[in-house]
Amino acid sequence: MIIHSSTFEISAVRPSQWPTGGLPEFAFLGRSNVGKSTLLNRLLNRKSLARVSAQPGKTRQINFYQINEQFRFVDLPGYGYAAVSKKERAQFAAMIDRYLIDREPLLRIAQLVDIRHAPSKDDVEVHAGLRTLDVPLIVIATKADKIGKSQIDAHVRQIRKGLQTDVRILPVSAEKRTGLEEIWAILEADLDN
């Protein structure tokens, strides 16, 4: 994918702020701190279009980015961040659900999980929920640079087992820029369909 333009559009706190116009959207979902914003920046070759923070739980809105005036990336708030109040977490969850269920231009959901660990309870529940939707799914196993190359296959198998899924799982490192071409190949095929 050649990126001609990538722009931040809006940080939406309510559905009425979601962009209109129907450009196809790819949504990135995962636990807080899993690397959603970092991956988005790497895919777009931008240093800090999507805000990355050392503190987890930073992305509290649904952030929309427009690419090549052709499609959108959607950075969803991270789930499972304990330091956020219960009420606030329920509010995020409701907003994410509403987006995933109602959003007509949604072309694919990428669920990010940390390649180092077995999927969390949240990861497993979210994955099961996503599989009930009628939207293509991919799992991106992030931070692959944090384990040895020889361990990658075993970790992917562990994630597959934990999620009990046959969805494609792609190991990726935003840090080392590995796996990005594979992601683009999938997104480009979606756009061509």
Residues that bind ligand GTP (CB under 6 A): 30, 32-38, 52-54, 56-59, 78, 142-143, 145-146, 173-175
Q: Output the residue with the shortest Cβ distance to ligand GTP.
A: 78
Which class for 24: exposed (0-12), middle (13-18), buried (19 or more C-beta within 10 A)? middle
Helix 152-163 and helix 121-131, axial crossing angle in degrees, nearest 10: 70
> Which listed range, 55-63, 120-128, 136-144, 152-160, lies at the site for Mg ion (CB under 5 A)?
55-63
Contact 154, 184 (CB under 8 A): no
Nearer to ligand GTP, 2 or 54 (CB): 54
Q: Is 59 or 111 the residue whose CB approaches Mg ion more closely?
A: 59
Among 41, 59, 165, 173, binds Mg ion (CB under 5 A): 59
CB nearer to ligand GTP: pick between 9 and 166: 9
Q: Is 88 exposed, middle or buried (0-12, 13-18, 19+ CB in 10 A)?
A: middle
Q: ∠ CA(181), CA(19), CA(49), 5° rounding?
A: 45
- 145, interface contact from ligand GTP, Mg ion, none, CB < 5-8 Å by kind: ligand GTP
In the complex, minimum distance from the CB of residue 179 to ligand GTP, in angstroms, rounded to a whole number: 9
Query: Which is nearer to ligand GTP, 54 or 192 (by Cβ)?
Result: 54
The structure tokens listed for 139 are: 């799992």
Q: Which residues fall within 8 angstroms of residue 156, CB to CB, at 6 or more apart? A: 115, 141, 169, 171
Interface residue with Mg ion among 33, 37, 165, 173 (CB under 5 A) is 37
| 63 near Mg ion (CB under 5 A) | no
CA–CA separation, 41 and 31 (whole Å):
17
Task: Kindly list the residues in this chain that would bind Mg ion in the complex (CB under 5 A).
Answer: 36-37, 59
